[in-house]
């Protein structure tokens, strides 16, 4: 771990610059999410940062096409951003603001955008996985050529719904992909404290899917593996990809990771896909000033997201009763109105 | 006019909906080749094929989850849950996902799916195949809840459910599949969400739904022979809940019994009783009486099973006590 693999880090510099830019944007966005929390502008502390996992988001999204759909877990900011989300609207949603993707009702863990095929982030471990089977079923029946991808963490590897879903996807030859971002921890429990079977892709293979594990240190390797798995799924062979990485920080913002020691964290944080890509580019002759410019542009872009979120309004209280059911359906009667009505009658 | 069973009315509703709308498909355990555990989908696979009568492994959470994804992707799935007792397996997908997707995502998309299932007692099927769990569903904002008690309603409520923009839980009653009625399906149904007054009488209002509609009507017939006239309201849908029809019946009479097969405590009857008490308080002569399932699991013994849920005799006897 932590060493470069010249076999996979080579290839087109232009490609790698693009991947680097996306990973830097994700990293910087997540850093600003942390800042939003520290400044008291986030809605709550249920904020799960994907720092250390940028190659998974960026590498897999590089293998996706227009029309593809996906669901994510609770640590999905990077995936959504890499798929093309507007970071301003993301940050506003994380702040619980009206200008956010879900008008402040979803937040970090329930962000979604049908326009980009994001069928929703999920706060139930494994909860978003079977929707991908349904979306893939529709893609197959309508012959749209789309793939549907479920992103989840290693925690979901111990949830039954994953196996039900992979089994159906294989049984029906669906264009579905299951991506496990293995950051080694389900909250405070390390993967080897949760299962004896840590070669995760073998489970998918046992169900009849294509399965691979790739080192998340190298975004090019992740992208290449994702292309193999996603392309095969598009052709009717569903797949599974485990991406090994390390969760740099705690489970959520208030978690100081007391369950792991400093040496382990230090070693884990050396497995940095952003730094690795940068070093590979420099070694390949990339002008560092250009990389600095990319970093600066990401910083400016993401700084602006905090300003946008801070400037945005909270949703109006009346919106509480919207969207329980479809527009045009009667809305729930507010409690205060109900109480007054009942007491006035009796 | 045609003689039709509740089972065949449901099948015809699926058939007609699938004929009209190619986005409608059925997904669940044994819905295709087997034809459904209670025979509702029998034969449909011959006409519509295995893709639209999609047999699944025994994976209830993924059946519901797949239906959710398919609904979000633009189709109109009918997921079948063989017994409502298995709903515990699917509660995350149903209540955390389907019920909340429209709201959590700020109104971007809904989940227009129907979860067809069946519940209730009557077949000595034991504690895990005989429950009435509608209160679990009714307690979750974002879900519609339909419980047809008649053949006509079995057809029309399923057709209406398949036009809803939001997830509908459609609970049939296993003891009703074989009942038959001489009906004209071309008579337009009541608007979605409306209750129906099945019988009018000036002494007492009985508010109920599903199989207990039949028990209440039998009880009302027996009571009529003894000079007690009951109004019987069939709610048909529990969400939406047509409280207006309840209020209009209750206020002139002032005496109400709520009948539900589900367990008494924190059940549908409890909610109805609380609403009637709050909203019609000045009109009530007596407390609202709940006649509901005993707070016990359902036994396989026919004697214990029958005695643990409301019967026509219990409803009639309770009415007589209320009118003493």
CATH number, domain of B295, equals 3.40.50.920
B220 domain residue, yes or no: yes
A49-103 tens-digit pLDDT: 999 999 999 999 999 999 999 999 999 999 999 999 999 999 999 999 999 999 9
Q: Is there a single domain that holds both residue B257 and residue B278?
A: yes
Q: How far apart are CA A225 and CA A242, in angstroms?
A: 10
Is the CB of B282 less than 8 angstroms away from the CB of A119?
Answer: no
Domain boundary among B161, B183, B205: B183
Is the CB of A134 less than 8 angstroms away from the CB of B67?
Answer: yes
Q: Which of A178, A323, A328 to mutate to test the interface with B (most CBs of B within 10 A)?
A: A323
Q: Is there a single domain that holds both residue B272 and residue B146?
A: no
Decide: B152 and B183 in contact? Cβ < 8 Å.
yes
Is the CB of A133 less than 8 angstroms away from the CB of B62?
Answer: yes
Q: What is the pLDDT of residue A318?
A: 94
Q: Is there a single domain that holds both residue B84 and residue B169?
A: yes
CA distances from A60 to A53, A203, A327 (A): 11, 20, 35
Domain boundary among B140, B161, B183: B183
Q: Is there a single domain that holds both residue B94 and residue B210?
A: no
Is the CB of B105 less than 8 angstroms away from the CB of A102?
Answer: yes
A321 domain residue, yes or no: yes
Q: Is there a single domain that holds both residue B263 and residue B215?
A: yes
Chain A's closest residue to B89, CA to CA, is A161
A185-220 tens-digit pLDDT: 999 999 999 999 999 999 999 999 999 999 999 999
B65-78 tens-digit pLDDT: 999 999 999 999 99
Q: Which residues of B touch A345 (CB under 8 A)?
A: 279, 281-282
B190 domain residue, yes or no: no
Q: Which of B108, B143, B164, B194 to mutate to test the interface with A (most CBs of A within 10 A)?
A: B108
B189 domain residue, yes or no: no
CA distances from A44 to A153, A247, B66 (A): 22, 21, 31
Domain count within chain B = 2
pLDDT at A3 over 50: no
Say which DSSP state B78 is in. E
Rounded to 5°, angle at Cα A219 from A290 and A163: 150
Is the CB of B106 less than 8 angstroms away from the CB of A323?
Answer: yes
A269-306 tens-digit pLDDT: 999 999 999 999 999 999 999 999 999 999 999 999 99
B214 domain residue, yes or no: yes
A1 domain residue, yes or no: no
Chain A's closest residue to B107, CA to CA, is A323
Q: Which residue stretches of chain B have pLDDT < 70?
A: none
Say which DSSP state A30 is in. H
Give the domain range for residue B143. Answer: 2-183
Q: Is there a single domain that holds both residue B245 and residue B217?
A: yes
Q: Is there a single domain that holds both residue B168 and residue B209?
A: no
Decide: A131 and A120 in contact? Cβ < 8 Å.
yes
List, as one string, the DSSP characters of B138-187: HTSTT-EEE---SHHHHHHHHHHHTT-SS-EEEEEEGGGTT-EEEE-TTS
Is the CB of B62 less than 8 angstroms away from the CB of A69?
Answer: no
Among residues A129, A116, A124, A128, the alpha carbon closest in space to that of A87 is found at: A116
A224-256 tens-digit pLDDT: 999 999 999 999 999 999 999 999 999 998 899
- What mean pLDDT do residues A150-172 have? 98
B159 domain residue, yes or no: yes
Q: Other C-beta atoms within 10 Å of A97: how many?
A: 23
Residue A327 sits at φ, ψ, to 5 deg, of -60, 135
Whole-complex ipTM: 0.95
- What mean pLDDT do residues A133-158 have? 98
Interface residues of chain B, partner chain A, Cβ below 8 Å: 51, 56-57, 59, 61-62, 64-75, 77, 92-93, 96-97, 100-110, 141-142, 144, 165-166, 240, 278-279, 281-282
Decide: B203 and B255 in contact? Cβ < 8 Å.
yes
pLDDT at A138 over 90: yes
Q: Other C-beta atoms within 10 Å of A289: how many?
A: 8
Decide: A33 and A42 in contact? Cβ < 8 Å.
yes
Chain B's closest residue to A338, CA to CA, is B279
Give the domain range for residue A95. Answer: 6-345
Q: Other C-beta atoms within 10 Å of B103: how many?
A: 20
Q: Nearest C-alpha of chain B: how many angstroms from A75?
A: 17
In which residue are the tokens 């301003």 written?
A88
A310 domain residue, yes or no: yes
Please report, for the domain that includes residue A99, its CATH number: 3.40.50.970
Decide: A20 and A291 in contact? Cβ < 8 Å.
yes
Q: Is there a single domain that holds both residue B167 and residue B222?
A: no
Q: What is the pLDDT of residue B1?
A: 83
Q: Is there a single domain that holds both residue B138 and residue B7?
A: yes
Which residues have CB under 8 Å from B324's CB, separation 6+? Answer: none
Q: For all residues of chain A together, what is the average pLDDT?
A: 95
Chain A's closest residue to B279, CA to CA, is A342
Decide: A91 and A311 in contact? Cβ < 8 Å.
no
Q: Nearest C-alpha of chain A: how many angstroms from B319?
A: 26
List, as one string, the DSSP characters of A266-332: HHHHT--HHHHHHHHHHHTT--HHHHHHHHHHHHHHHHHHHHHHHHSPPPPGGGGGTTSS-TTSPPP
Q: How far apart are CA A262 and CA A268, in angstroms?
A: 10
Please report, for the domain that includes residue B177, its CATH number: 3.40.50.970
Q: Is there a single domain that holds both residue B141 and residue B267?
A: no
The residues of B annotated as belonging to the active site are: 129
Q: Which residues of A touch B103 (CB under 8 A)?
A: 105, 323-324
Q: How far apart are CA A44 and CA A41, in angstroms?
A: 9
Is the CB of B93 less than 8 angstroms away from the CB of A139?
Answer: no
Domain count within chain A = 1
B127 domain residue, yes or no: yes
């Amino acid at each position: 771990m932590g060493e470069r693999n010249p076999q996979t880090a080579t290839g087109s510099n232009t490609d790698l610059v693009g991947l680097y830019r996306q990973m830097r944007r994700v990293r910087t966005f997540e850093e600003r999410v942390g800042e939003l929390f520290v400044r008291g502008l986030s809605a709550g502390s249920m904020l799960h940062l994907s720092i250390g996992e940028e190659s998974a988001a960026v590498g897999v999204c590089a293998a996706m096409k227009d029309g593809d759909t996906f669901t994510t877990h609770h640590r999905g900011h990077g995936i959504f951003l890499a798929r093309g989300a507007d970071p301003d609207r993301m940050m506003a949603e994380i702040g619980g603001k009206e200008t956010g993707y879900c008008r402040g009702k979803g937040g970090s863990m329930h962000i979604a955008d049908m326009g980009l095929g994001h069928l929703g982030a999920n706060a139930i471990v494994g909860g978003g996985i079977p929707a991908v089977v349904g979306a893939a079923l529709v893609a197959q029946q309508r012959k749209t050529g789309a793939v549907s991808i479920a992103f989840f963490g290693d925690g979901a590897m111990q949830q039954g719904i994953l196996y039900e879903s992979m089994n159906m996807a294989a049984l029906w030859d669906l264009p579905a992909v299951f991506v496990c971002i293995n950051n080694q921890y389900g909250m405070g429990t390390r993967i080897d404290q949760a299962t004896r079977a840590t070669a995760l892709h073998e489970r998918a293979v046992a169900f009849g899917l294509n399965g691979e594990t790739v080192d998340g240190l190298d975004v090019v390797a992740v992208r290449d593996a994702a292309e193999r798995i996603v392309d095969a799924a598009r052709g009717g062979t569903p797949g599974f990809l485990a991406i090994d990485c390390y969760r740099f920080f705690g489970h959520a913002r208030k978690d100081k990771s007391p369950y792991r020691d400093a040496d382990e964290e230090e070693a884990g944080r050396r497995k940095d896909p952003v730094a690795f890509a940068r070093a590979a580019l420099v070694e390949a002759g990339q002008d560092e000033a250009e990389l600095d410019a990319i970093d600066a542009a990401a910083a400016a872009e993401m700084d602006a997201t905090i300003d946008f979120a801070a400037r945005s309004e909270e949703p109006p209280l009346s919106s509480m009763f919207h969207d329980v059911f479809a527009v045009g359906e009667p809305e729930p009667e507010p409690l205060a109105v109900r109480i007054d009505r009942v007491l006035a009658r009796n | 006019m045609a003689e039709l069973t509740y089972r065949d009315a449901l099948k015809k509703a699926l058939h007609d909906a699938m004929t009209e709308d190619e986005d409608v498909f059925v997904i669940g355990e044994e819905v295709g080749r087997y034809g459904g555990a209670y025979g509702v989908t029998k034969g449909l696979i011959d006409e519509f094929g295995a893709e639209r009568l999609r047999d699944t492994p025994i994976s209830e959470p993924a059946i519901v989850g797949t239906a959710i994804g398919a609904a979000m992707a633009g189709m109109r799935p009918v997921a079948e849950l063989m017994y409502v007792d298995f709903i515990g397996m699917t509660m995350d997908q149903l209540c955390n996902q389907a019920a909340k997707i429209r709201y959590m995502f700020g109104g971007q998309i809904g989940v227009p799916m129907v979860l067809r299932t069946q519940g209730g007692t009557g077949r000595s099927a034991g504690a895990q195949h005989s429950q009435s769990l509608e209160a679990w569903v009714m307690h979750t904002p974002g879900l519609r809840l339909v419980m047809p008690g008649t053949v006509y309603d079995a057809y029309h409520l399923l057709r209406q459910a398949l036009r809803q923009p939001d997830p509908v839980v459609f609970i049939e009653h296993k003891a009703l599949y074989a009942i038959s009625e001489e009906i004209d399906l071309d008579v337009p149904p009541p608007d979605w969400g409306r209750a129906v007054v099945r019988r009018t009488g000036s002494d007492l209002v009985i508010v109920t739904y599903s199989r207990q509609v039949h028990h209440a009507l039998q009880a009302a017939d027996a009571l009529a022979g003894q000079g007690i006239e009951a109004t019987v309201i069939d709610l048909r849908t529990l969400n939406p809940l047509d409280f207006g029809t309840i209020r209009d019946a209750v206020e002139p009479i002032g005496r109400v019994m709520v009948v539900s097969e589900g367990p008494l405590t924190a059940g549908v009857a409890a909610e109805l009783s609380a609403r009637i008490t709050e909203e019609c308080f000045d009109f009530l002569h007596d407390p609202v009486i709940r006649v509901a399932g005993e707070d016990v699991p359902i036994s396989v013994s026919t004697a214990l099973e029958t005695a643990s849920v409301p019967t026509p005799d219990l409803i009639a006897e309770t009415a007589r006590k209320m009118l003493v």
